[in-house]
């Protein structure tokens, strides 16, 4: 065979073989890397109870409990009073109300009896009935704008309105929990209006 024809063939064979070697090495490294994933022992597996705890949040009890229309005082001497819920019709520009649910309005009065400012900006109202969870209604026309954004000075008081849309019917049990800074502060129980 002629040497001038053999040289290009040898280059071709070398290139083809080097691609095969590169592919084989890459596959081996990938298999080795992937086999190291998830190699835990039985002691590291999650039990069914642990898995349930990870999925379901445990609701902590409120610091203080009471009823509507009564002052409920927390251990740090802050007083929360929620008026009895009253049925209302949200305004044209309200948000949050759900069709077929009972819309409730109540007033909240907070008196800061502690020696420090009380930040209510993170206040959350969680309402529940026997039929399910309520949702917030925000209605600027009805002065239901959410929690106060300015910290409440020691010794000061503030009142504001809140609205919720709840599943159920008038007379059904209603539980309202006020949560501030991820702590359940106050719980009040009563009935839907």
Whether the pTM exceeds 0.75: the reply is: no
Residues 85, 44 share a domain: no
pLDDT confidence of 58, banded at 50, 70, 90? low
Residues 34, 124 share a domain: no
Residues 65, 12 share a domain: no
Give the Cα separation of 185 and 61 in Å (integer): 9
Whole-number pLDDT of residue 54: 61
Residues 173, 102 share a domain: yes
Give the Cα separation of 6 and 12 in Å (integer): 10
Non-local CB neighbours of 47 within 8 Å, separated by 6+ positions: none
Residues 138, 87 share a domain: yes
pLDDT confidence of 151, banded at 50, 70, 90? very high
DSSP state of 73: E
How many domains does the structure of the chain reveal? 2
Q: Greater confidence, 45 or 76?
A: 76
Give the H or E element holding residue 86. Answer: strand 86-87
Give SS3 for 34: helix
| Among candidate residues 68, 72, 150, 136, the one with its CA nearest the CA of residue 110 | 72
**Domain CATH for 133:** 2.60.40.1240
70 neighbors 81 (Cβ within 8 angstroms)? yes
Whole-number pLDDT of residue 53: 62
Q: What mean pLDDT comes out for the span 70-82?
A: 97
Give the H or E element holding residue 12. Answer: helix 3-35
Residues 89, 146 share a domain: yes
Non-local CB neighbours of 45 within 8 Å, separated by 6+ positions: none
Q: What mean pLDDT comes out for the span 174-184?
A: 95
Give SS3 for 55: helix
Query: Would the pLDDT of 48 be above 90?
Result: no
Last residue of a domain, which of 58, 74, 95? 58
Residues 100, 174 share a domain: yes
Residues 12, 49 share a domain: yes
Query: Would the pLDDT of 176 be above 90?
Result: yes
136 neighbors 82 (Cβ within 8 angstroms)? no
Whole-number pLDDT of residue 26: 76
Q: What mean pLDDT comes out for the span 19-39?
A: 66
Q: Greater confidence, 54 or 80?
A: 80
74 neighbors 64 (Cβ within 8 angstroms)? yes
Q: Greater confidence, 68 or 35?
A: 68
21 CB neighbour count, 10 Å cutoff: 9
Whole-number pLDDT of residue 160: 97
Whole-number pLDDT of residue 47: 75
Residues 123, 29 share a domain: no
Give the Cα separation of 15 and 40 in Å (integer): 42
Last residue of a domain, which of 18, 42, 58? 58
Residues 107, 33 share a domain: no
Residues 177, 82 share a domain: yes
> What token pair was written down for 51?
């898995």
Domain encompassing residue 94: 61-191
Residues 174, 110 share a domain: yes
Q: What mean pLDDT comes out for the span 87-103?
A: 95
């Amino acid at each position: 065979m002629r040497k001038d024809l053999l040289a290009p063939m040898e280059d071709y064979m070398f290139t083809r073989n080097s691609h095969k070697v590169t592919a084989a090495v890459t596959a081996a490294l990938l298999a080795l890397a992937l086999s190291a994933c998830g190699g835990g022992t039985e002691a590291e597996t999650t039990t069914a109870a642990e898995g349930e705890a990870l999925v379901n949040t445990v609701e902590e009890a409120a610091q203080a409990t009471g009823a509507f229309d009564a002052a409920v005082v927390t251990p740090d001497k802050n007083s929360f009073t929620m008026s009895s819920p009253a049925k209302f019709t949200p305004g044209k520009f309200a948000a949050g109300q759900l069709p077929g649910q009972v819309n409730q309005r109540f007033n909240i009065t907070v008196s800061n009896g502690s020696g420090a400012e009380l930040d209510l900006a993170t206040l959350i109202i969680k309402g529940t009935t026997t039929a399910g969870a309520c949702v917030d209604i925000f209605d600027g026309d009805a002065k239901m704008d959410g929690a106060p954004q300015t910290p409440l000075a020691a010794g000061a008081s503030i009142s504001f309105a809140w609205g919720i849309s709840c599943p159920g019917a008038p007379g059904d049990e209603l539980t309202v929990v006020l949560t501030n800074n991820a702590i359940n502060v106050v719980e009040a129980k009563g009935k839907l209006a």
